[in-house]
């Protein structure tokens, strides 16, 4: 059974108070809290088992290397991918920049196109703007429907003869919209176009099977998956990995170096230069173990219950607007209050009650512009949140309306 009280006990920070009130943490879309097993893995990694990985022959180096490399298999199991397709990164931002620099830049000509949606996080926008600025690449934008949904066929209709890549989120961090990335991948591949999926939100809230999705690139970030910041991975199909030039130069990504030549390592090793975030990735692996132990299906059901309950409670507040209501959306609610109430004021009032929400543009300025907004207050739920915390949010919003309405 999914025992949310027991799960909450696994997260030390959830027992603290903020401004004299029990913490209600509803900023999971930005970064999730860490269970004790992750904290313990990090502590052990530094206190008992730390050494640099790879090539060291002494005991600690062997222990650290084995723990670090074991995470590659955990990422593969968690996402339904092949282990030799897993490239470690510091998170989705580095991952997508890696694809932009190492795969897209060498094969893009002026006038070539990248298809994007307006649901994207800046991490899946700015790296493509680099190519627009530097190489004359054209960005083709696909707008969501009025309810926030993004039909696969609408994305596929934007593909033209000069489209070289489709880059799309699996789940909007603002609206909670879930995107059918498998259908987009099938349609794009039928047109000979590779697909990058930003799984930063998608992988957190429901099971992912990349063998079924079939995309060429899939990025995840550890800190949203209840792991440490500075950890993450990108899954790169073998065919695409073979096409990529090295992203960074240094140790680990080479085979031989002389004064007049360099030979690069094969496969994922070519993309992993220098001393990595050893303990961060070990902590990431502990987080994935924790999630797989709970079961992503169980987490998805729990969060769906929270979503439905929150939707029913929010529907009773006729002075408030929730942005986006796509069918099957995730438990993310971007809220505006009618009148002049600013999202920052809403967040400040909620914070006085110990309720943590995010206020601003959520690194999705093109979407906010499309919606005609400058900011929203966003409540994003995770595996440890409860219906009682939904009630606390509603009570806090009623106070905001009383003070700001």
Question: In angstroms, rounded to a whole number, what is the distance separating the alpha carbons of residues 210 and 202?
Answer: 12
User: In terms of DSSP bridges, do strands 163-169 and 195-198 run parallel, antiparallel, or are they unpaired?
Assistant: parallel
Quick count: other Cβ atoms within 10 Å of Cβ 370? 14
- Counting every residue, how long is the chain? 405
Q: How far apart are alpha carbons 89 and 277 in whole angstroms?
A: 8
Residues 6+ apart with CB under 8 A from 130: 100
Three-state DSSP at 163 gives strand
Give residue 301's Cα distance to chain centre. Answer: 20
Q: Write the DSSP string, 196-260.
A: EEE-TTHHHHS---HHHH--SEEEEEGGGGTS-TT-EEEEE-HHHHHHPPPSS-STTSEEEE-SS
In our burial notation (b when 16+ CB lie closer than 10 A, e otherwise), range 95-111 reads bbbbbbbbbbbeebeee
- CA torsion, points 357, 198, 115, 112, in degrees to nearest 10? 130
For the annotated catalytic residues, the residue numbers are 363
Distance from C-alpha of 351 to C-alpha of 363, rounded to nearest angstrom: 21
């Amino acid at each position: 059974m999914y025992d949310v009280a027991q799960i909450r006990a696994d997260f030390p920070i959830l027992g603290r108070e903020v401004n004299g009130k029990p913490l209600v943490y509803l900023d999971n879309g930005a970064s999730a809290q860490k269970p004790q097993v992750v904290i313990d893995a990090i502590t052990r990694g530094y206190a008992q088992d730390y050494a640099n990985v790879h090539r060291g022959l002494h005991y600690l180096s062997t222990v650290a290397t084995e723990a670090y490399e074991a995470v590659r298999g955990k990422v593969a199991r968690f996402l339904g991918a092949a282990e030799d397709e897993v490239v470690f990164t510091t998170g989705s931002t580095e991952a997508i920049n890696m694809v932009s620099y190492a795969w897209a830049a060498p094969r893009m000509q002026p006038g070539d196109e990248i298809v994007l949606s307006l649901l994207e996080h800046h991490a899946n926008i700015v790296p493509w703007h680099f190519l627009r600025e530097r190489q004359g690449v054209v960005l083709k934008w696909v707008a969501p429907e009025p309810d926030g949904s993004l039909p696969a066929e609408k994305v596929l209709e934007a593909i033209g003869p000069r489209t070289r890549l489709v880059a799309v989120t699996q789940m909007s961090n603002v609206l909670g919209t879930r995107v059918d990335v498998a259908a987009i991948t099938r349609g794009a591949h039928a047109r000979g176009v590779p697909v990058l999926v930003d799984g930063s939100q998608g992988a957190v809230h429901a099971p992912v099977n990349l063998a079924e999705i079939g995309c060429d690139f899939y990025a995840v970030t550890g800190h949203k998956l209840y792991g440490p910041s500075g950890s993450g991975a990108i899954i790169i199909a073998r065919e695409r990995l073979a096409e990529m030039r090295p992203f960074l130069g240094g140790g680990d990504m080479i085979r031989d170096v002389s004064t007049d030549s360099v030979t690069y390592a094969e496969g994922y090793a070519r993309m992993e230069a220098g001393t990595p975030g050893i303990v961060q990735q070990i902590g990431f692996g502990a987080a994935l173990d924790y999630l797989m132990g709970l079961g992503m299906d169980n987490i998805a059901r729990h969060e769906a219950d929270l979503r439905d309950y929150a939707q029913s409670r929010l529907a009773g507040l006729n002075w408030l607007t929730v942005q986006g209501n796509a069918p099957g959306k995730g438990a993310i609610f971007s809220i505006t209050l009618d009148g002049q109430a600013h999202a920052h004021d809403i967040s400040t009032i909620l914070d006085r009650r110990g309720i943590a929400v995010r206020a601003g543009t959520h690194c999705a300025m093109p979407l906010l512009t499309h919606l005609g907004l400058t900011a929203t207050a966003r409540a994003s739920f995770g595996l440890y949140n409860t219906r009682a915390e939904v009630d606390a949010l509603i009570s806090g919003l009623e106070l905001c309306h009383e003070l700001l309405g």
